[in-house]
Amino acid sequence: MKKNYISNSSESSRMFKNDFLESLSKIHFAVPLFIYVPVVIFYTYLAIVNHVSFLAYIGYFAFGVLVWSATEYVLHRYIFHYVPTSKWGLRIHFIFHGVHHDFPRDSKRLVMVPSVSIPLAFAFYFLFSLFLSDTHLYSFFSGFLVGYLAYDMTHYAIHHANFKSPFWKKIKQHHMLHHYDDPTKGYGVSSVLWDKILDSDFPKKK
């Protein structure tokens, strides 16, 4: 993605002439917590009442978190950063991710809006149900959603929090390099794991 413009303003830019569509494009960062934390609790409850052992729950939960981290990377690298050539394609690209690169401090467009995240959650749940039994799916999907929430909250914090911890400073620096240095690297947001595995990490300074 070639960078032509980056605004440091925290104000939201208008994307749609229609007020309703414009409202759907903005979200307070805490909204995903109110939507998905109850879902995580519900699926954890289903795992318990279906007598999933503690070790099995932890194992599939951790597997779900890992699969989310890979999903986050794939979505960011191959979907959000795919730049089409058509006029409509470029418009869709701007709506989904280009606006974030142009206005990275826009506080209302740092987490995924429910109109996108909810259909995706249903689609992923259906996909995973093809490979996992119900009892294992409850544990796995809980971890997958927690991974997603960690991504959303981390992304917001990276752009608006001043970290003291060396670990979080490193995570923030990784994402800032993606925005301000080279958007063709550093696709991991909540983790740098897949950037290291798939050779899209930033080169270390000598």
In a domain, 79, yes or no: yes
**Closest Cα to residue 42, out of 130, 142, 185?**
142
In a domain, 48, yes or no: yes
pLDDT of 2 reads 47
In a domain, 42, yes or no: yes
Q: How many CB atoms lie within 10 A of CB 73?
A: 22
pLDDT of 8 reads 63
pLDDT of 18 reads 74
* Count of structural domains, the chain: 1
In a domain, 180, yes or no: no
In a domain, 176, yes or no: no
In a domain, 183, yes or no: no
pLDDT at 22 over 90: no
Structure tokens that stand for 119 in this block: 């259909």
pLDDT at 199 over 60: yes
In a domain, 150, yes or no: yes
In a domain, 76, yes or no: yes
For the chain, how many residues are written? 206
Cβ neighbours of residue 56 closer than 8 Å, sequence gap 6 or more: 136, 139
Q: Residue 64 burial by CB count (10 A; 0-12/13-18/19+): exposed, middle or buried?
A: buried
Domain with 135, as residue range(s), is: 29-163
User: Per-residue pLDDT tens for 56-102?
Assistant: 999 999 999 999 999 999 999 998 888 877 888 777 877 777 777 77
